[in-house]
Protein backbone atom coordinates (compact mmCIF):
# COMPACT_ATOMS: atom_id res chain seq x y z
CA UNK A 1 0.00 0.00 0.00
CA UNK A 2 1.32 3.44 -0.97
CA UNK A 3 0.16 5.57 1.95
CA UNK A 4 0.82 8.86 0.13
CA UNK A 5 -1.57 8.03 -2.72
CA UNK A 6 -4.52 7.85 -0.34
CA UNK A 7 -6.82 10.79 0.27
CA UNK A 8 -7.35 12.07 3.81
CA UNK A 9 -10.64 10.15 4.15
CA UNK A 10 -9.14 6.94 2.75
CA UNK A 11 -6.07 7.16 4.98
CA UNK A 12 -8.19 7.87 8.07
CA UNK A 13 -10.39 4.83 7.36
CA UNK A 14 -7.42 2.50 6.92
CA UNK A 15 -5.75 3.88 10.06
CA UNK A 16 -8.88 3.41 12.16
CA UNK A 17 -9.25 -0.17 10.87
CA UNK A 18 -5.64 -0.88 11.88
CA UNK A 19 -4.51 -1.50 8.28
CA UNK A 20 -1.77 1.14 8.57
CA UNK A 21 0.02 2.45 11.66
CA UNK A 22 0.76 6.04 12.68
CA UNK A 23 4.49 5.29 12.42
CA UNK A 24 4.08 4.03 8.84
CA UNK A 25 2.15 7.18 7.90
CA UNK A 26 4.70 9.55 9.42
CA UNK A 27 7.69 7.72 7.91
CA UNK A 28 6.09 7.60 4.45
CA UNK A 29 5.52 11.36 4.39
CA UNK A 30 8.94 12.23 5.80
CA UNK A 31 10.54 10.01 3.15
CA UNK A 32 8.64 11.95 0.50
CA UNK A 33 9.78 15.26 2.00
CA UNK A 34 13.38 14.01 1.88
CA UNK A 35 13.05 13.09 -1.80
CA UNK A 36 10.99 15.97 -3.22
CA UNK A 37 11.04 19.04 -0.96
CA UNK A 38 14.39 20.31 -2.32
CA UNK A 39 12.76 20.57 -5.78
CA UNK A 40 9.39 22.01 -4.77
CA UNK A 41 10.35 24.10 -1.69
CA UNK A 42 6.84 23.98 -0.28
CA UNK A 43 7.91 24.41 3.35
CA UNK A 44 9.54 27.12 5.42
CA UNK A 45 9.67 24.93 8.55
CA UNK A 46 9.26 21.15 8.83
CA UNK A 47 8.56 19.11 11.95
CA UNK A 48 11.33 17.10 13.59
CA UNK A 49 11.05 13.55 12.29
CA UNK A 50 12.33 11.78 15.41
CA UNK A 51 9.89 13.59 17.70
CA UNK A 52 6.93 12.90 15.43
CA UNK A 53 7.87 9.21 14.95
CA UNK A 54 8.12 8.83 18.74
CA UNK A 55 4.69 10.44 19.15
CA UNK A 56 3.28 8.16 16.45
CA UNK A 57 4.78 5.09 18.12
CA UNK A 58 3.16 6.05 21.43
CA UNK A 59 -0.16 6.55 19.67
CA UNK A 60 0.06 3.11 18.02
CA UNK A 61 0.78 1.52 21.41
CA UNK A 62 -2.21 3.28 22.98
CA UNK A 63 -4.53 2.34 20.13
CA UNK A 64 -3.51 -1.31 20.32
CA UNK A 65 -5.36 -1.35 23.65
CA UNK A 66 -8.05 1.22 23.01
CA UNK A 67 -9.13 2.50 19.60
CA UNK A 68 -10.42 6.07 19.75
CA UNK A 69 -12.06 7.67 16.72
CA UNK A 70 -10.91 11.16 15.78
CA UNK A 71 -11.23 12.54 12.23
CA UNK A 72 -7.63 13.73 11.93
CA UNK A 73 -5.82 11.31 14.25
CA UNK A 74 -2.24 10.68 12.99
CA UNK A 75 -2.92 12.63 9.77
CA UNK A 76 0.14 14.69 8.60
CA UNK A 77 -1.31 18.12 7.78
CA UNK A 78 0.58 21.26 6.74
CA UNK A 79 -0.32 24.76 7.91
CA UNK A 80 0.30 28.00 6.04
CA UNK A 81 2.97 30.06 7.78
CA UNK A 82 0.67 32.95 8.67
CA UNK A 83 -1.42 30.76 11.01
CA UNK A 84 -0.05 30.70 14.56
CA UNK A 85 1.31 27.42 15.91
CA UNK A 86 2.39 27.36 19.55
CA UNK A 87 6.12 26.72 19.88
CA UNK A 88 6.65 26.54 16.10
CA UNK A 89 7.95 29.48 14.05
CA UNK A 90 5.35 31.53 12.17
CA UNK A 91 7.17 33.81 9.73
CA UNK A 92 4.50 34.96 7.24
CA UNK A 93 7.21 34.47 4.63
CA UNK A 94 8.86 37.67 5.89
CA UNK A 95 12.19 38.70 7.41
CA UNK A 96 10.09 40.83 9.76
CA UNK A 97 8.90 37.68 11.59
CA UNK A 98 11.80 35.39 10.67
CA UNK A 99 12.33 34.25 14.29
CA UNK A 100 8.82 34.77 15.72
CA UNK A 101 7.53 31.81 17.75
CA UNK A 102 3.87 32.24 18.82
CA UNK A 103 2.99 31.51 22.46
CA UNK A 104 -0.47 30.21 21.43
CA UNK A 105 -2.27 28.24 18.73
CA UNK A 106 -4.71 29.71 16.24
CA UNK A 107 -8.24 28.42 16.88
CA UNK A 108 -8.15 26.28 13.72
CA UNK A 109 -4.91 24.68 14.89
CA UNK A 110 -6.31 24.08 18.37
CA UNK A 111 -9.36 22.39 16.81
CA UNK A 112 -7.19 20.15 14.65
CA UNK A 113 -5.13 19.24 17.73
CA UNK A 114 -8.32 18.21 19.51
CA UNK A 115 -8.93 15.85 16.60
CA UNK A 116 -5.44 14.34 16.72
CA UNK A 117 -3.63 15.83 13.70
CA UNK A 118 0.15 15.92 13.22
CA UNK A 119 1.74 19.20 12.12
CA UNK A 120 4.19 18.12 9.42
CA UNK A 121 5.30 21.66 8.55
CA UNK A 122 4.61 25.34 7.96
CA UNK A 123 4.21 26.12 4.28
CA UNK A 124 5.81 28.82 2.18
CA UNK A 125 3.73 31.81 1.10
CA UNK A 126 3.90 35.24 -0.47
CA UNK A 127 5.14 37.67 2.19
CA UNK A 128 2.25 38.54 4.54
CA UNK A 129 -0.01 36.81 1.99
CA UNK A 130 0.54 39.63 -0.51
CA UNK A 131 1.01 38.01 -3.89
CA UNK A 132 -0.36 35.58 -6.43
CA UNK A 133 2.66 33.39 -7.16
CA UNK A 134 4.57 32.65 -3.89
CA UNK A 135 7.50 34.53 -5.40
CA UNK A 136 7.49 37.37 -2.84
CA UNK A 137 8.44 35.08 0.05
CA UNK A 138 11.61 36.20 1.82
CA UNK A 139 12.68 32.54 1.79
CA UNK A 140 12.55 32.04 -1.97
CA UNK A 141 9.81 30.86 -4.34
CA UNK A 142 7.88 27.60 -4.25
CA UNK A 143 7.66 25.64 -7.50
CA UNK A 144 4.64 24.01 -9.08
CA UNK A 145 4.87 20.19 -8.76
CA UNK A 146 3.09 19.85 -12.12
CA UNK A 147 5.88 21.83 -13.82
CA UNK A 148 8.85 23.00 -11.76
CA UNK A 149 9.35 25.98 -14.09
CA UNK A 150 5.87 27.32 -13.26
CA UNK A 151 4.44 29.17 -10.28
CA UNK A 152 2.27 27.23 -7.79
CA UNK A 153 -0.08 30.21 -7.41
CA UNK A 154 -0.33 32.35 -4.31
CA UNK A 155 -0.38 33.38 -1.66
CA UNK A 156 -0.97 29.84 -0.29
CA UNK A 157 1.32 28.34 -2.94
CA UNK A 158 3.29 26.28 -0.44
CA UNK A 159 0.14 24.62 0.90
CA UNK A 160 -1.21 23.78 -2.58
CA UNK A 161 2.20 22.52 -3.77
CA UNK A 162 2.61 20.38 -0.64
CA UNK A 163 -0.76 18.67 -1.22
CA UNK A 164 -0.13 18.20 -4.96
CA UNK A 165 3.39 16.83 -4.39
CA UNK A 166 2.17 14.43 -1.65
CA UNK A 167 4.24 16.19 1.00
CA UNK A 168 1.20 16.18 3.32
CA UNK A 169 -2.24 14.62 3.22
CA UNK A 170 -4.01 18.00 3.45
CA UNK A 171 -3.21 21.63 4.31
CA UNK A 172 -4.64 24.89 5.57
CA UNK A 173 -4.35 28.13 3.62
CA UNK A 174 -5.76 31.63 3.91
CA UNK A 175 -7.74 33.49 1.26
CA UNK A 176 -7.95 37.30 1.07
CA UNK A 177 -8.53 37.70 -2.67
CA UNK A 178 -8.18 34.16 -4.01
CA UNK A 179 -5.15 32.84 -2.12
CA UNK A 180 -6.63 29.37 -1.51
CA UNK A 181 -8.52 28.90 -4.78
CA UNK A 182 -5.94 30.31 -7.17
CA UNK A 183 -3.02 28.06 -6.04
CA UNK A 184 -5.40 25.08 -5.88
CA UNK A 185 -6.22 25.75 -9.55
CA UNK A 186 -2.55 26.08 -10.47
CA UNK A 187 -1.56 22.81 -8.76
CA UNK A 188 -4.59 20.70 -9.67
CA UNK A 189 -6.00 20.23 -6.16
CA UNK A 190 -9.12 21.36 -4.28
CA UNK A 191 -9.24 24.65 -2.36
CA UNK A 192 -12.23 25.92 -0.37
CA UNK A 193 -12.70 29.50 0.82
CA UNK A 194 -15.49 29.47 3.42
CA UNK A 195 -18.01 32.25 4.02
CA UNK A 196 -16.49 35.18 5.90
CA UNK A 197 -17.13 34.39 9.58
CA UNK A 198 -17.62 30.62 9.11
CA UNK A 199 -14.07 29.78 10.28
CA UNK A 200 -12.32 31.60 13.12
CA UNK A 201 -9.57 34.06 12.17
CA UNK A 202 -8.13 34.07 15.71
CA UNK A 203 -4.42 33.38 15.33
CA UNK A 204 -4.32 34.26 11.63
CA UNK A 205 -1.79 37.04 11.09
CA UNK A 206 -3.88 39.81 9.57
CA UNK A 207 -3.47 41.12 6.03
CA UNK A 208 -6.92 42.65 5.32
CA UNK A 209 -9.21 41.88 8.23
CA UNK A 210 -12.53 42.30 6.43
CA UNK A 211 -11.45 39.90 3.66
CA UNK A 212 -9.18 37.23 5.23
CA UNK A 213 -10.54 33.72 5.72
CA UNK A 214 -8.90 30.36 6.55
CA UNK A 215 -9.82 27.24 4.57
CA UNK A 216 -8.63 23.76 3.50
CA UNK A 217 -6.56 22.66 0.52
CA UNK A 218 -7.02 18.95 -0.17
CA UNK A 219 -6.72 16.15 -2.70
CA UNK A 220 -10.45 15.94 -3.33
CA UNK A 221 -13.80 17.46 -2.37
CA UNK A 222 -14.63 14.83 0.26
CA UNK A 223 -11.44 15.69 2.11
CA UNK A 224 -12.35 19.39 2.00
CA UNK A 225 -15.73 18.59 3.56
CA UNK A 226 -14.03 16.60 6.31
CA UNK A 227 -11.55 19.38 7.07
CA UNK A 228 -14.36 21.93 7.18
CA UNK A 229 -16.23 19.78 9.71
CA UNK A 230 -13.25 20.15 12.06
CA UNK A 231 -12.33 23.83 11.63
CA UNK A 232 -15.74 25.51 11.11
CA UNK A 233 -17.86 26.99 13.88
CA UNK A 234 -18.32 29.97 16.17
CA UNK A 235 -15.33 31.21 18.18
CA UNK A 236 -15.77 33.79 20.98
CA UNK A 237 -12.12 34.78 20.51
CA UNK A 238 -12.94 36.19 17.04
CA UNK A 239 -15.41 39.08 17.03
CA UNK A 240 -16.16 38.49 13.33
CA UNK A 241 -16.95 34.79 13.87
CA UNK A 242 -20.59 34.02 13.05
CA UNK A 243 -22.68 32.12 15.57
CA UNK A 244 -24.31 29.96 12.91
CA UNK A 245 -24.89 26.17 13.17
CA UNK A 246 -22.42 24.00 11.24
CA UNK A 247 -24.18 21.41 9.05
CA UNK A 248 -22.91 17.91 8.35
CA UNK A 249 -20.85 18.60 5.24
CA UNK A 250 -20.18 14.92 4.51
CA UNK A 251 -23.91 14.18 4.30
CA UNK A 252 -24.34 16.97 1.73
CA UNK A 253 -22.18 15.14 -0.83
CA UNK A 254 -24.27 13.57 -3.62
CA UNK A 255 -23.39 12.28 -7.07
CA UNK A 256 -26.02 14.22 -9.00
CA UNK A 257 -27.20 17.82 -9.24
CA UNK A 258 -30.90 17.13 -9.62
CA UNK A 259 -32.90 20.18 -8.52
CA UNK A 260 -29.88 22.55 -8.48
CA UNK A 261 -29.79 25.72 -10.54
CA UNK A 262 -26.33 26.72 -11.74
CA UNK A 263 -25.61 30.31 -12.83
CA UNK A 264 -23.07 31.19 -15.50
CA UNK A 265 -22.09 34.90 -15.38
CA UNK A 266 -21.45 36.50 -18.79
CA UNK A 267 -18.82 38.86 -17.36
CA UNK A 268 -16.49 35.97 -16.42
CA UNK A 269 -16.19 34.79 -20.03
CA UNK A 270 -15.00 38.04 -21.58
CA UNK A 271 -11.75 39.38 -23.03
CA UNK A 272 -8.58 38.11 -21.33
CA UNK A 273 -9.79 34.55 -20.72
CA UNK A 274 -7.41 31.94 -22.15
CA UNK A 275 -9.24 29.86 -24.84
CA UNK A 276 -8.11 26.57 -23.26
CA UNK A 277 -9.45 27.66 -19.87
CA UNK A 278 -12.77 28.74 -21.41
CA UNK A 279 -13.14 25.42 -23.24
CA UNK A 280 -12.42 23.40 -20.08
CA UNK A 281 -14.87 25.41 -17.97
CA UNK A 282 -17.65 25.35 -20.59
CA UNK A 283 -17.13 21.58 -20.93
CA UNK A 284 -17.51 21.31 -17.14
CA UNK A 285 -20.77 23.26 -17.34
CA UNK A 286 -22.07 20.80 -19.95
CA UNK A 287 -21.10 17.96 -17.62
CA UNK A 288 -23.03 19.61 -14.78
CA UNK A 289 -26.05 19.82 -17.05
CA UNK A 290 -25.69 16.09 -17.73
CA UNK A 291 -25.81 15.60 -13.94
CA UNK A 292 -29.34 17.09 -14.02
CA UNK A 293 -28.43 20.68 -13.07
CA UNK A 294 -30.43 23.50 -14.62
CA UNK A 295 -28.03 25.98 -16.29
CA UNK A 296 -28.97 29.66 -16.38
CA UNK A 297 -27.06 32.66 -17.76
CA UNK A 298 -26.76 35.49 -15.25
CA UNK A 299 -25.11 38.90 -15.08
CA UNK A 300 -22.77 40.37 -12.45
CA UNK A 301 -22.18 43.83 -13.98
CA UNK A 302 -20.13 45.31 -11.12
CA UNK A 303 -17.45 42.61 -11.57
CA UNK A 304 -15.60 45.07 -13.83
CA UNK A 305 -14.75 47.21 -10.80
CA UNK A 306 -13.71 44.39 -8.44
CA UNK A 307 -9.94 44.63 -8.99
CA UNK A 308 -9.85 48.39 -8.41
CA UNK A 309 -12.06 48.20 -5.31
CA UNK A 310 -10.11 45.28 -3.87
CA UNK A 311 -6.68 46.90 -4.25
CA UNK A 312 -7.90 49.99 -2.40
CA UNK A 313 -9.65 48.17 0.45
CA UNK A 314 -7.05 45.42 0.92
CA UNK A 315 -4.06 47.77 0.83
CA UNK A 316 -5.74 50.25 3.18
CA UNK A 317 -6.39 47.49 5.72
CA UNK A 318 -2.85 46.15 5.22
CA UNK A 319 -1.39 49.60 5.89
CA UNK A 320 -3.27 49.70 9.20
CA UNK A 321 -2.55 46.08 10.19
CA UNK A 322 1.15 46.21 9.39
CA UNK A 323 1.72 49.37 11.41
CA UNK A 324 2.29 47.11 14.44
CA UNK A 325 5.65 45.94 13.05
CA UNK A 326 7.73 48.75 14.47
CA UNK A 327 10.64 46.87 16.05
CA UNK A 328 9.39 47.49 19.59
CA UNK A 329 7.05 44.69 20.63
CA UNK A 330 8.13 41.66 18.58
CA UNK A 331 9.65 40.73 15.24
CA UNK A 332 12.69 42.20 13.55
CA UNK A 333 14.40 45.20 15.18
CA UNK A 334 17.02 47.29 13.39
CA UNK A 335 20.22 48.22 15.24
CA UNK A 336 19.71 51.96 15.39
CA UNK A 337 20.04 54.20 18.46
CA UNK A 338 17.43 56.85 17.65
CA UNK A 339 13.75 55.89 17.94
CA UNK A 340 12.64 57.31 14.58
CA UNK A 341 15.69 55.86 12.83
CA UNK A 342 14.98 52.48 14.42
CA UNK A 343 11.34 52.53 13.22
CA UNK A 344 12.34 53.43 9.67
CA UNK A 345 15.26 51.02 9.41
CA UNK A 346 13.23 48.16 10.92
CA UNK A 347 10.51 48.49 8.30
CA UNK A 348 13.02 49.07 5.52
CA UNK A 349 14.92 45.88 6.40
CA UNK A 350 11.95 43.73 7.45
CA UNK A 351 9.51 44.21 4.58
CA UNK A 352 9.97 43.15 0.96
CA UNK A 353 9.20 45.22 -2.13
CA UNK A 354 5.59 44.02 -2.67
CA UNK A 355 4.63 44.58 0.98
CA UNK A 356 6.13 48.08 0.89
CA UNK A 357 4.22 48.81 -2.33
CA UNK A 358 0.91 47.80 -0.76
CA UNK A 359 1.56 49.70 2.48
CA UNK A 360 2.25 52.86 0.47
CA UNK A 361 -0.85 52.38 -1.69
CA UNK A 362 -3.01 51.82 1.38
CA UNK A 363 -1.55 54.73 3.33
CA UNK A 364 -2.20 57.03 0.38
CA UNK A 365 -5.81 55.79 0.04
CA UNK A 366 -6.44 56.53 3.73
CA UNK A 367 -4.68 59.90 3.83
CA UNK A 368 -6.45 63.20 4.45
CA UNK A 369 -8.10 64.54 1.32
CA UNK A 370 -8.11 61.17 -0.45
CA UNK A 371 -10.10 58.94 1.91
CA UNK A 372 -13.51 59.73 0.38
CA UNK A 373 -12.20 59.77 -3.18
CA UNK A 374 -10.57 56.34 -2.94
CA UNK A 375 -11.30 54.18 0.13
CA UNK A 376 -14.86 55.49 0.57
CA UNK A 377 -15.74 54.90 -3.08
CA UNK A 378 -14.16 51.44 -3.01
CA UNK A 379 -16.38 50.47 -0.07
CA UNK A 380 -19.44 51.77 -1.95
CA UNK A 381 -18.47 49.64 -4.97
CA UNK A 382 -18.02 46.66 -2.64
CA UNK A 383 -21.63 47.05 -1.54
CA UNK A 384 -22.77 47.06 -5.17
CA UNK A 385 -20.70 43.93 -5.94
CA UNK A 386 -22.33 42.14 -3.00
CA UNK A 387 -25.74 43.30 -4.19
CA UNK A 388 -25.04 41.80 -7.64
CA UNK A 389 -24.29 38.43 -6.06
CA UNK A 390 -27.30 38.63 -3.74
CA UNK A 391 -29.65 39.23 -6.67
CA UNK A 392 -28.08 36.51 -8.82
CA UNK A 393 -28.16 33.96 -6.00
CA UNK A 394 -31.90 34.50 -5.61
CA UNK A 395 -32.27 32.92 -9.05
CA UNK A 396 -29.63 30.15 -8.79
CA UNK A 397 -28.16 27.91 -6.09
CA UNK A 398 -24.51 28.25 -7.14
CA UNK A 399 -22.47 30.22 -9.68
CA UNK A 400 -19.81 28.60 -11.89
CA UNK A 401 -16.78 30.46 -13.29
CA UNK A 402 -13.13 29.87 -14.17
CA UNK A 403 -10.84 30.15 -11.14
CA UNK A 404 -8.04 31.84 -13.11
CA UNK A 405 -7.97 33.48 -16.55
CA UNK A 406 -4.92 31.38 -17.54
CA UNK A 407 -3.10 28.24 -16.41
CA UNK A 408 -0.06 28.76 -14.14
CA UNK A 409 2.52 31.05 -15.72
CA UNK A 410 6.30 30.71 -15.57
CA UNK A 411 8.33 31.71 -12.53
CA UNK A 412 9.59 35.25 -13.01
CA UNK A 413 7.19 35.98 -15.88
CA UNK A 414 5.11 38.63 -14.07
CA UNK A 415 7.08 39.47 -10.94
CA UNK A 416 8.23 42.80 -12.42
CA UNK A 417 4.72 43.70 -13.61
CA UNK A 418 2.43 44.12 -10.56
CA UNK A 419 -0.65 45.01 -12.64
CA UNK A 420 -0.45 41.79 -14.66
CA UNK A 421 0.13 39.83 -11.45
CA UNK A 422 -2.93 41.42 -9.82
CA UNK A 423 -5.11 40.48 -12.80
CA UNK A 424 -4.49 36.76 -12.19
CA UNK A 425 -6.97 37.06 -9.29
CA UNK A 426 -9.67 38.75 -11.36
CA UNK A 427 -12.20 35.88 -10.96
CA UNK A 428 -11.65 35.29 -7.24
CA UNK A 429 -11.45 38.78 -5.73
CA UNK A 430 -15.15 39.66 -6.02
CA UNK A 431 -16.05 36.60 -3.91
CA UNK A 432 -14.00 37.95 -0.99
CA UNK A 433 -15.51 41.41 -1.36
CA UNK A 434 -18.97 39.81 -1.07
CA UNK A 435 -17.91 37.46 1.75
CA UNK A 436 -19.19 34.34 -0.06
CA UNK A 437 -18.05 30.69 0.02
CA UNK A 438 -16.31 29.34 -3.08
CA UNK A 439 -14.34 26.27 -4.09
CA UNK A 440 -11.83 25.55 -6.85
CA UNK A 441 -11.37 22.06 -8.25
CA UNK A 442 -9.62 20.66 -11.34
CA UNK A 443 -11.59 20.59 -14.59
CA UNK A 444 -8.95 20.11 -17.27
CA UNK A 445 -5.37 20.36 -18.47
CA UNK A 446 -3.81 22.90 -20.80
CA UNK A 447 -1.78 21.90 -23.86
CA UNK A 448 1.25 22.43 -21.61
CA UNK A 449 -0.13 19.81 -19.15
CA UNK A 450 -0.92 22.41 -16.49
CA UNK A 451 -4.14 22.13 -14.43
CA UNK A 452 -7.20 24.32 -15.08
CA UNK A 453 -9.50 25.23 -12.20
CA UNK A 454 -13.30 25.44 -11.98
CA UNK A 455 -14.73 27.84 -9.37
CA UNK A 456 -18.13 27.22 -7.74
CA UNK A 457 -19.59 30.08 -5.66
CA UNK A 458 -22.50 29.81 -3.22
CA UNK A 459 -24.73 31.83 -0.92
CA UNK A 460 -23.44 32.90 2.53
CA UNK A 461 -23.09 29.93 4.90
CA UNK A 462 -24.20 27.46 2.23
CA UNK A 463 -20.89 25.64 1.90
CA UNK A 464 -22.79 22.35 1.75
CA UNK A 465 -24.34 23.33 -1.62
CA UNK A 466 -20.96 24.39 -2.96
CA UNK A 467 -19.45 21.09 -1.80
CA UNK A 468 -22.36 19.11 -3.24
CA UNK A 469 -21.99 20.71 -6.67
CA UNK A 470 -18.20 20.23 -6.61
CA UNK A 471 -18.44 16.61 -5.46
CA UNK A 472 -21.00 15.63 -8.11
CA UNK A 473 -18.85 17.12 -10.87
CA UNK A 474 -15.67 15.60 -9.43
CA UNK A 475 -17.15 12.09 -9.23
CA UNK A 476 -18.30 12.30 -12.86
CA UNK A 477 -14.78 13.17 -14.10
CA UNK A 478 -11.20 12.05 -13.49
CA UNK A 479 -9.34 15.36 -13.34
CA UNK A 480 -8.81 15.09 -9.55
CA UNK A 481 -6.98 11.76 -10.06
CA UNK A 482 -4.26 13.27 -12.24
CA UNK A 483 -1.14 13.83 -10.12
CA UNK A 484 2.24 15.37 -11.02
CA UNK A 485 4.93 12.80 -11.79
CA UNK A 486 7.66 14.06 -9.50
Q: Is the peptide bond before 344 cis (omega within 30 degrees of 0)?
A: no
Residue 133 to residue 155: CA distance in whole angstroms: 6
E strand or H helix at 401, and its extent?
strand 398-402
Nearest one of 252, 265, 209 to 427, comparing CA atoms: 265
Q: Regarding beta strands 261-265 and 294-298, do their DSSP bridges make them parallel or antiparallel, or are they unpaired?
A: parallel
Three-state secondary-structure class, residue 400? strand
CB 188 within 8 A of CB 482: yes
Count of other CB atoms within 10 angstroms of residue 95: 17
Q: Regarding beta strands 76-80 and 118-123, do their DSSP bridges make them parallel or antiparallel, or are they unpaired?
A: parallel
Residue 485 to residue 161: CA distance in whole angstroms: 13
For 134, phi and psi rounded to 5 degrees? 60, 30
**Torsion angle (degrees, nearest 10) of CA 340, 343, 348, 352:** -160
Three-state secondary-structure class, residue 334? coil
Residue 332 to residue 350: CA distance in whole angstroms: 6
Burial pattern 459-484, b for ≥16 Cβ within 10 A else e, equals bbbbbbbbbbbbbbbbbebebbeebb
Nearest one of 106, 102, 108, 62 to 86, comparing CA atoms: 102
Residue 291 to residue 92: CA distance in whole angstroms: 42
CB 145 within 8 A of CB 408: no
Count of other CB atoms within 10 angstroms of residue 304: 14
Residue 448 to residue 154: CA distance in whole angstroms: 20
Nearby residues of 160 by Cβ (< 8 Å), 6 or more positions away = 152, 153, 171, 173, 183, 184, 186, 187, 189, 191, 217
CB 41 within 8 A of CB 142: yes
Active site residues: 80, 155, 179
CB 291 within 8 A of CB 257: yes
Percentages of the chain per state (helix, strand, coil), in multiples of 5: 45, 15, 40
Amino acid sequence: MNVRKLTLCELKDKFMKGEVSAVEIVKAYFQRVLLVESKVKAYITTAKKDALVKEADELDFTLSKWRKTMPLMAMPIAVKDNICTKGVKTTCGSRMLENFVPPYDATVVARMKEHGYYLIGKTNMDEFAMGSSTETSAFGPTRNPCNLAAIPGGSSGGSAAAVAAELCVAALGSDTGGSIRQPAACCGVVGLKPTYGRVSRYGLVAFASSLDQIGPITKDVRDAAMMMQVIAGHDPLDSTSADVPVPDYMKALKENLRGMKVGVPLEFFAEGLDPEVELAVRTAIIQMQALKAEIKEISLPMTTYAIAAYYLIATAEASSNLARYDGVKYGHRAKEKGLLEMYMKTRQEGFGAEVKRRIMLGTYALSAGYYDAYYGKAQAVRTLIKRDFDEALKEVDVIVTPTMPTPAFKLGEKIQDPLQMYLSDIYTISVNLAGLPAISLPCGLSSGKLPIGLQIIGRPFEEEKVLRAAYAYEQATEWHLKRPGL
